Structure 1
Amino acid sequence: MSPAGFHEMWRDLLPVGRDATSGGYRRYAWTGADTDCRAWFRAQAEDRGLRYETDRNGNQWAWLGDPNGRDAVVTGSHLDSVPDGGAFDGPLGVVSAFAAVDGLLARGARPTRPVAVVNFGDEEGARFGLACVGSRLSAGRLTPEDARRLTDADGVTLATAMERAGHDPATIGPDPERLARIGAFVELHVEQGRALADTDHAVGVASAIWPHGRWRFDFHGEANHAGTTRLADRHDPMLTYANTVLAARKKARLAGALATFGKVGVEPNGVNAIPSLVRGWLDSRAADQDTLDRVVAEIRTAAEERGSRDGVRVEVTRESFTPVVEFDNALRDRLAGLLGGDRPEAVPVLPTGAGHDAGILSSELSSAMMYVRNPTGVSHSPAESADEDDCTAGVTALTEVLEGLACR
Structure 2
Amino acid sequence: MAAHRPRLVNLEVLPVPSGDAVPEVLPALRRMLDGDGPALLPVPAADDREIRRLTGALHPGEPVDDGIGLVVATSGTTGTPKGAQLTAAALRASGDATHERLGGPGSWLLALPAHHIAGLQVLLRGLLAGTGPVVIDVADGFDPGRLPAAVAAMPAGRRYTSLVPTQLIKALDDPAAVAALAGLDAILLGGAATPAPVLRRARDAGITVVRTYGMSETCGGCVYDGVPLAGTTVRVDAQSRVWLGGATLARGYRGLPDHPAFAEPGWFRTDDAGELTDGVLRILGRLDEAVTTGGLTVVPQVVEAVLLEHPAVRECAVIGLPDPRLGQRVAVVVVPEAGASPTLDELRTWTSASLDVTAAPRALYVVPALPLRGPGKVDRRALVARFS
The reply to whether TM is greater than 0.5 is no
Considering only CA atoms, is the larger Rg found in Structure 1 or Structure 2? 1
Q: Which has the higher strand share?
A: 2
RCO (CA 8 Å, sep 6+): is it higher in 1 or 2? 1
TM-score, normalization: structure 2?
0.28
Q: Which has the higher helix share?
A: 1
TM-score, normalization: structure 1?
0.27
